[in-house]
Structure 1
Amino acid sequence: MPRFLLLMNLAEIPLSLFFCVEHTCGQKNKKVIFEMRYAFVLTYIALCFFAAAVITLPNVPHKAKFEEKATQYDVEIIRDSLGIPHIYGQSHADTAFGLGYAQSEDDFSTLQTVILATRGTLAAENGYKAAKTDFVVQFMGVWDAVNSRYEQDVPEHIKALAQAYADGVNLYAAQNPNEVSDFLLPVTAKDLIAGFTFKTPMFYGFDDQLGKLVNADEPLALAKQNENALLVTPQESLPLGSQGIAIAPKRSADNSTYLLVNSHQPLTGPVAWYEARLHSAEGWDVVGSTFPGAPVIIHGHNRNIGWSNTVNKPDLVDFYKLIINPDNSNQYKLDDQWHDFETKQAEMIVKFWGPLRWTFNKDIKLSQHGPVMETEHGAYAVRWAGMNEVRTLEFMHAVNMAKDKDEFEAALAMNAMPSINYVYADIDGNIAHYYNAMFPKRISGWQWDKVLPGDNSELIWQGYWDFDMMPKTINPQSGFVYNANNPPNMSTDGDDDVDLADYPASMGIETFITNRAYRIEEIAKSLDAISFQDLKNLKFDLNYSEQSNQIKQLKYWLKAVDTSVLSPQEKQAWKDLHEWDYSTDKHNELAALAVMTLDPVQKARGSDVDLNETTKAFQSAVKQLTQYYGRHKVKWGGVMRLQQGDVNLPIDGGPDILRAVYGKGMNEQGQMINRAGDGFMMFVRWDQKGQVSSQAAHQFGAASTRSNSTHYNDQMNAFVEHELREVILDRSKVKNTAKSIYHPLNPQN
């Protein structure tokens, strides 16, 4: 029987009153929204006495339908002693089905949120603040692209893979209806394809750039031709990081090939790493980690190759300021002619209170450049790398299946992944760094990092540079490659990096060098031959480099600060800070003061920071440390903590440290809780005989959102002590220590 929901559609209420509270409306409209919401509630109370159910929620298919579908899949899920799923299917689809089910068992709430967000229906479940996300999905044309290109551009085997994963999610949802949103079922293959279309541009900062546009207090400066063509991607804060390192046999101490997989992400949420082992009789044989809603391994290794991902942020978003016809607001100027906007309507269902939901409609204008954002200071069209892309899952599966460097590069040559660095290693001893991105083919001579004039059709780029133009470092003489969110001309500790002069400035290649990049080069150059222990020591390095922006600006502040504004206690702290050795070891008693003082420097990402800002951060640090600990010299591990449930442990490392740890201010106990950075990581080795092995660690456990699970936080102690565990690749061995073996139709967890 269908369930009915009272839904009132208050026609044509401007969406901006709700979805842009923080982004476009400003403080005045917050008051307007507050008042309007109360008016709407009163209207609701009056109407609910006679209003029938206006909208019917989607019918939830009967459980038997999903169970019948599940009988088609031949899969076995083996949970090892840590609860990590090892999934064995006959076909690729069987394996994907098992992954969808296992991931639902461990983190259904996040997976469901990801799918609702991808559909643009998150506000129906979570309220008006989520309508911003729903609007962006429709503004980007995610579903326009998927619906128009799915049949033609998505191969049948990828459709089957995606649908199988969706069927695994559907089965779990049917078995556990109390966890399921009314807006979820059934999950489909298109949901998963659309997830990549929506999310992948966010990794290079599309959402940040869009937010800056609508948040601007003044009209943005227009780009000019032939002026300052050198591009530096603007950033408000230091990226969370990531690093990958590959070492060739000629550089390793035992003639093995090594790979470090160490991507830094939030520790929870839609882009937190989930570990899995995938195997099918058709040849899918890979281990690593993935995100909720991704039916593949995103980074890890198979028997022959391995790859590590790091975020790169070249300039891949373009804004065009449009000239609107003063006599007709539905027209814009292009090449001295007025053109009519195309329009489409965004529709958001927004939950407010109890059963009360409203449907909001807002027109989105479309120009030849792309969708148009209307702001208080003008109308801007947006164009970005990866718009309308639906082949990303195909690309990722091809990477999972690649057997050698040629097949890996063939996957990259698809040009279906909008951004992301790849650090590569393989059984044959090849190593490489690929500065991967879909680089728009822009004309030269323009400042592409600024807002562009919207009346010049030559600026509406078409297509992307092919794989040959991708900056890459392959098998360098030093036998060592790396990336730590640094430019591609700094990819090895030798002298055969790429030369940025060989690439058009319009590609927008970033130039900022992280502390982690400096430290990797410094340590690598000190080692003629690198052992596994050397690689481990490098990864867990706890120091800032003297070359880093952090230490340069700290030294400048220590020298230039006006000490007359400091209290006696602050003057003593200032003197003590001169003695800091740049370490973030958990026993270091000056690291807390230093890291807190450097907070504005971290956020500036290479830009100069006003002395007063650093002074304020320093004074705040002294005040807080004294308030909670009675002194400013405190062991760093007492302040920086890794917490999950009732387990709360000291952890070393810090922002932009190779042992990456990012907190978010002090809580009421005077602790900074680690929110992002180091999480799932792998150390991969191919020995001289070509045998692959790997070791891994995870910050929490296999079921990091299931507080009632024994695997909610069972890996934390090992993680904070830098301990690694062997990754079991053999099916018979994992069965020997298995906690459960089951088909999703008969779960035993």
Structure 2
Amino acid sequence: MKKRYTTLLVLGLLVGGIFTIAYSTLPSLPDMTPFKEKAHAYNVDVIRDEWGIPHIFGKKDKDTAFGLGYAHAEDDFATIQDVMLATRGKLAAEKGPKAAKTDYLIQWMGIWEAVAQGYDTLPEHTKAIAEAYADGLNLYAAENPDKVSPYAFPFKGEDVVAGFTFKTPLFYGFDKELGKLFDTSIPKEIAKEGEQPLVWQPSEHLPVGSQGIAVAPHRSEEGRTHLLINSHQPLTGPVAWYEASLHSEEGWNMAGATFPGAPIIIHGHNEHLGWANTVNKPDLTDIYVLKINPENDQQYWMDGAWHNFEMKEASMTVKLFGPLRWTVKKDILIAAHGPVMETEEGYFAINWAGRGETRQLDFMYRLNKASNFEEFEEAMRMQAMPSINYVYADKEGNIAHFYNAQFPHRIEGWDWKKYLPGDRSELIWNTYRPYQDTPKTVNPTTGLVYNANNPPFQATDGNDDPKSQDFPPSMGIESFVTNRALQIETLYGLEDKISSKEFEQFKYDLSYHPASTQAKRLREWLSQPIPEVWKGTVYEKAFLHLQSWDLSTHLDNTAAALGVLTLAPIQQAQGKKVSSEVIQEAFVQAVDQLEEHYNTYAPTYGQVNRHVRGEVSLPISGGPDILRAVYGGPLNEDGQLHNRAGDSYIMMVEWDSNGVISSKAIHNYGTATLDPTSPHYSDQANLFVQEKLRPVYRSKEMSLSKGGRQYTPGKESTITEMEAGL
């Protein structure tokens, strides 16, 4: 017994010693005083309007960026900090083993090597706003040290730039291409010389996407220029929209939305012009199959000789439990083509658009400050963004669609969408096609441009689209046509003149187009005979009811829930053929689930489709790949679809015939991203589900008249009578 107690005592002391050492070796926060004092160098006021939206007024651009950093941190510091931790490759130190893959990817992609080379080459004014934004975050952190990770603090301008280098390739699907490497069920078909890919053909593909639409004055009933900004993003998390209005005496006057960690407006408008972003997904990733020397696995075969890999080491600090962290190290091999991934099926080297790119912030800053079409296009000529469409409009009545991308300068005669042989150096590209090679539609004769994640060869309702045959297959331009694109061209295209009311009304269209993949495949399936085993059962009744569906996703529709659930596998297949058996299985499951939760296969869609925020749960119209985009599947344990992505921040902008601007907007929830006790946690949700917009305030006087609080970050806030009464 005595020996047992002695053993337990020794183990206890050992564990206690380990924890003591672990706590003592954890990084600690520095003295916060200098970060508070640094705030005195900035001259900025923040005005929160009745919706809690920050209107930031700085003396200089860097003052405004500082104010944005502080205000955004007030509303969403935890998300911003997680973004910074991920960008630094330190997320696993706080989140544990599951985050180690992200930390490894950051180092594998060479993010910080790129920043080390590119940061000092950025213009001083661009570095100034990155560093000022970081100072705003640091001030908030200094005032709230209990919320701060020592692995993230202090934030730096380099963190901001690195975030763009890391995240922008993900928008065209770079991460998904990497994921396919580790899926052994996907065949790794290798391209052959002289084998061309299929040329562009109109077809449907169904991603979570976005839409931007612009109408020129001659197409407008009131002679106005219209712009719809309608990105579809997750409603929460690191790429959820945050609304702000930015002003400085140096001419920075943007209203719109941004992401956590971004010191500019990503899409929105100034007094002169505006733009909407939508995702495009050309083939911008190339994967090469390497032959490894069987006698030396540090060599690969190329051009008739063995070549040594370059090597570097990734180091991941991983939280185990409590204060315990473990450092994991892993070698990274680098071939002439790019960094290498080793899988069960071999070694693959990867090259991608945006690799080593650090100019994204400078590009976006130039867009924010542009005052006319020429300045906007001059920024586009930088080709600093790996991808992303831009739908443009301005006070002069110009409209345009830019299918922006960094198109690799590849040789023809290969199907670049397949895996490539790694033994031929001529297949390695290191430059991009010039700006003039990119598809764009500027001031078409019909006065309408749009994009809803469709090809650039369908950008207007006339004949001014770029022609697919003018762009070589090696550019890898995608070929999908969404339901939303079909609806836009039908709704807007049928109108000789589009009124302001119609421009807004069409955005909230709730139907699937009869020619969409969803409608065509469902129609085919519903045309088959009813299975004999269904005769006289609830499935027969549900089948007949679904046949009567008008393809609307209005919240009062009694067939929409059954229809959307039955369409789910067609939606997920992204344009690929779905068998009748799979559709039937989805239908049967939908009937069973609806009967279980609602005692009917025909509940109103609003009973099922919900917009939920904390204690607020509201019925909402719309669905997947609908212009009123709502993505909520699959059904949860309560038998509901909770809106998770799609329509989020929506903005409508117009310039009248005199060039005077006005705009309206709505956020899916509200400004207070993380604080459920805030009045702004869900104060816009009701307007959002009612498909209503609120005015955007641009002047300091208007912001003050609607404000609840005016304050200077780092100084005592002034509470107005309005906020005191909240």
Which TM class, normalised by the smaller chain length?
over 0.9
In structure 2, the CA distance between the partners of 1:334 and 1:52, relative to structure 1 (3 Å rule), is: farther
Query: Which secondary structure does the structure 2 equivalent of 1:678 belong to?
Result: strand
Instruction: State whether residues 236 and 603 of structure 1, in contact with CA within 8 Å, keep that contact through their aligned partners in structure 2.
Output: no
Q: Distance in 1 between matches of 2:66 and 2:533?
A: 64
- Which of 505, 516, 526 in structure 2 is aligned with 1:548? 516
Offset from partner CA, 1:409-458 (integer Å, 9 cap, x none): 11111010010000000011000000001100011011101110000101
Query: Which secondary structure does the structure 2 equivalent of 1:250 belong to?
Result: helix
Instruction: State whether residues 262 and 678 of structure 1, in contact with CA within 8 Å, keep that contact through their aligned partners in structure 2.
Output: yes
In structure 2, the CA distance between the partners of 1:340 and 1:668, relative to structure 1 (3 Å rule), is: same
Query: Which secondary structure does the structure 1 equivalent of 2:217 belong to?
Result: coil
Aligned-partner residue type, residue 303 of structure 2? D
Q: Distance in 1 between matches of 2:218 and 2:12?
A: 73
Task: After TM superposition, list the pairs within 5 Å mapping 1:476-515 onto structure 2.
Answer: 476-515=444-483
2:665 is matched with: 696
Offset from partner CA, 1:503-538 (integer Å, 9 cap, x none): 010110000100000000011122110011101111
1:201 partnered with 2:169: yes
Q: Distance in 2 between matches of 1:537 and 1:237?
A: 25
Q: Distance in 1 between matches of 2:31 and 2:81?
A: 19
Q: Distance in 1 between matches of 2:83 and 2:671?
A: 19
In structure 2, the CA distance between the partners of 1:257 and 1:620, relative to structure 1 (3 Å rule), is: same
- Which of 377, 399, 424 in structure 1 is aligned with 2:392? 424
Shift of 1:226: 2.0
In structure 2, the CA distance between the partners of 1:216 and 1:562, relative to structure 1 (3 Å rule), is: farther
1:74 is matched with: 43
User: Structure 1: any 5+ residue segments left out of the alignment?
Assistant: 1-41
Shift of 1:495: 1.5
Aligned-partner residue type, residue 119 of structure 2? Y
1:130 partnered with 2:99: yes
TM-score, normalised via structure 2 length? 0.95
1:373 is matched with: 341
Task: After TM superposition, list the pairs within 5 Å mapping 1:188-227 onto structure 2.
Answer: 188-217=156-185, 220-227=188-195
Instruction: State whether residues 231 and 447 of structure 1, in contact with CA within 8 Å, keep that contact through their aligned partners in structure 2.
Output: no
Query: Which secondary structure does the structure 2 equivalent of 1:680 belong to?
Result: strand
Task: After TM superposition, list the pairs within 5 Å mapping 1:398-477 onto structure 2.
Answer: 398-477=366-445
1:520 is matched with: 488
Instruction: State whether residues 561 and 611 of structure 1, in contact with CA within 8 Å, keep that contact through their aligned partners in structure 2.
Output: no
Aligned-partner residue type, residue 394 of structure 2? D
- Which of 113, 125, 128 in structure 2 is aligned with 1:144? 113
Shift of 1:356: 1.4
Instruction: State whether residues 226 and 652 of structure 2, in contact with CA within 8 Å, keep that contact through their aligned partners in structure 1.
Output: yes
Q: Distance in 2 between matches of 1:624 and 1:652?
A: 20
Shift of 1:736: 1.2
Q: Distance in 2 between matches of 1:593 and 1:121?
A: 44
Aligned-partner residue type, residue 450 of structure 1? K
- Which of 38, 59, 63 in structure 2 is aligned with 1:90? 59
Shift of 1:628: 0.2
- Which of 223, 233, 244 in structure 2 is aligned with 1:276? 244
2:525 is matched with: 557
Task: After TM superposition, list the pairs within 5 Å mapping 1:549-588 onto structure 2.
Answer: 549-560=517-528, 563-564=531-532, 566=534, 568-588=537-557
- Which of 280, 286, 290 in structure 2 is aligned with 1:312? 280
Q: Distance in 2 between matches of 1:97 and 1:248?
A: 36
Aligned-partner residue type, residue 319 of structure 2? K
1:24 is matched with: none
- Which of 560, 572, 577 in structure 2 is aligned with 1:603? 572
Query: Which secondary structure does the structure 2 equivalent of 1:111 belong to?
Result: helix
Aligned-partner residue type, residue 377 of structure 2? E
In structure 2, the CA distance between the partners of 1:232 and 1:268, relative to structure 1 (3 Å rule), is: farther
In structure 2, the CA distance between the partners of 1:218 and 1:467, relative to structure 1 (3 Å rule), is: closer
1:346 partnered with 2:318: no
Q: Distance in 2 between matches of 1:476 and 1:218?
A: 42
In structure 2, the CA distance between the partners of 1:509 and 1:45, relative to structure 1 (3 Å rule), is: farther
Q: Distance in 2 between matches of 1:535 and 1:476?
A: 18
Q: Distance in 2 between matches of 1:166 and 1:133?
A: 22
1:649 partnered with 2:618: yes
Q: Percent identity?
A: 53
Shift of 1:239: 1.8
Shift of 1:50: 5.8
Instruction: State whether residues 258 and 683 of structure 1, in contact with CA within 8 Å, keep that contact through their aligned partners in structure 2.
Output: yes
1:109 is matched with: 78
Q: Distance in 2 between matches of 1:190 and 1:56?
A: 26
In structure 2, the CA distance between the partners of 1:218 and 1:397, relative to structure 1 (3 Å rule), is: closer
Q: CA RMSD in A?
A: 1.8
Number of positions where the alignment pairs a residue of Structure 1 with one of Structure 2: 706
Q: Distance in 1 between matches of 2:39 and 2:63?
A: 10
Instruction: State whether residues 219 and 378 of structure 1, in contact with CA within 8 Å, keep that contact through their aligned partners in structure 2.
Output: no
2:675 is matched with: 706
Shift of 1:565: 5.2
Aligned-partner residue type, residue 295 of structure 1? P
Instruction: State whether residues 663 and 675 of structure 1, in contact with CA within 8 Å, keep that contact through their aligned partners in structure 2.
Output: yes
Q: Distance in 2 between matches of 1:377 and 1:161?
A: 45
Shift of 1:62: 1.7
Offset from partner CA, 1:360-410 (integer Å, 9 cap, x none): 000010001000000010000000000000000000000001111111111
1:681 partnered with 2:650: yes
Query: Which secondary structure does the structure 2 equivalent of 1:434 belong to?
Result: strand
User: Structure 2: any 5+ residue segments left out of the alignment?
Assistant: 1-9, 720-726
Shift of 1:219: 5.5
Instruction: State whether residues 661 and 674 of structure 1, in contact with CA within 8 Å, keep that contact through their aligned partners in structure 2.
Output: yes
Q: Distance in 2 between matches of 1:650 and 1:344?
A: 53
Aligned-partner residue type, residue 384 of structure 2? A
Query: Which secondary structure does the structure 2 equivalent of 1:706 belong to?
Result: coil
Instruction: State whether residues 219 and 377 of structure 1, in contact with CA within 8 Å, keep that contact through their aligned partners in structure 2.
Output: no
Instruction: State whether residues 700 and 712 of structure 1, in contact with CA within 8 Å, keep that contact through their aligned partners in structure 2.
Output: yes
Instruction: State whether residues 283 and 401 of structure 1, in contact with CA within 8 Å, keep that contact through their aligned partners in structure 2.
Output: yes
Instruction: State whether residues 265 and 272 of structure 1, in contact with CA within 8 Å, keep that contact through their aligned partners in structure 2.
Output: yes
Shift of 1:60: 1.5
Q: Distance in 1 between matches of 2:151 and 2:459?
A: 46
Aligned-partner residue type, residue 406 of structure 1? E
Instruction: State whether residues 146 and 390 of structure 1, in contact with CA within 8 Å, keep that contact through their aligned partners in structure 2.
Output: yes
2:723 is matched with: none
1:738 partnered with 2:707: yes
In structure 2, the CA distance between the partners of 1:684 and 1:368, relative to structure 1 (3 Å rule), is: same
Instruction: State whether residues 224 and 657 of structure 2, in contact with CA within 8 Å, keep that contact through their aligned partners in structure 1.
Output: yes
Instruction: State whether residues 530 and 540 of structure 2, in contact with CA within 8 Å, keep that contact through their aligned partners in structure 1.
Output: no
Q: Distance in 1 between matches of 2:350 and 2:413?
A: 20
Q: Distance in 1 between matches of 2:271 and 2:501?
A: 22
Instruction: State whether residues 204 and 517 of structure 2, in contact with CA within 8 Å, keep that contact through their aligned partners in structure 1.
Output: no
Q: Distance in 1 between matches of 2:85 and 2:531?
A: 53
Shift of 1:157: 1.1
Shift of 1:155: 1.5
Task: After TM superposition, list the pairs within 5 Å mapping 1:218-297 onto structure 2.
Answer: 220-230=188-198, 238-297=206-265
In structure 2, the CA distance between the partners of 1:262 and 1:219, relative to structure 1 (3 Å rule), is: closer
Q: Distance in 1 between matches of 2:290 and 2:529?
A: 46
Query: Which secondary structure does the structure 2 equivalent of 1:360 belong to?
Result: strand
Shift of 1:605: 1.3
Greater shift, 76-85 or 43-52, is seen at 43-52
In structure 2, the CA distance between the partners of 1:400 and 1:628, relative to structure 1 (3 Å rule), is: same
1:187 is matched with: 155
Q: Distance in 2 between matches of 1:99 and 1:296?
A: 8
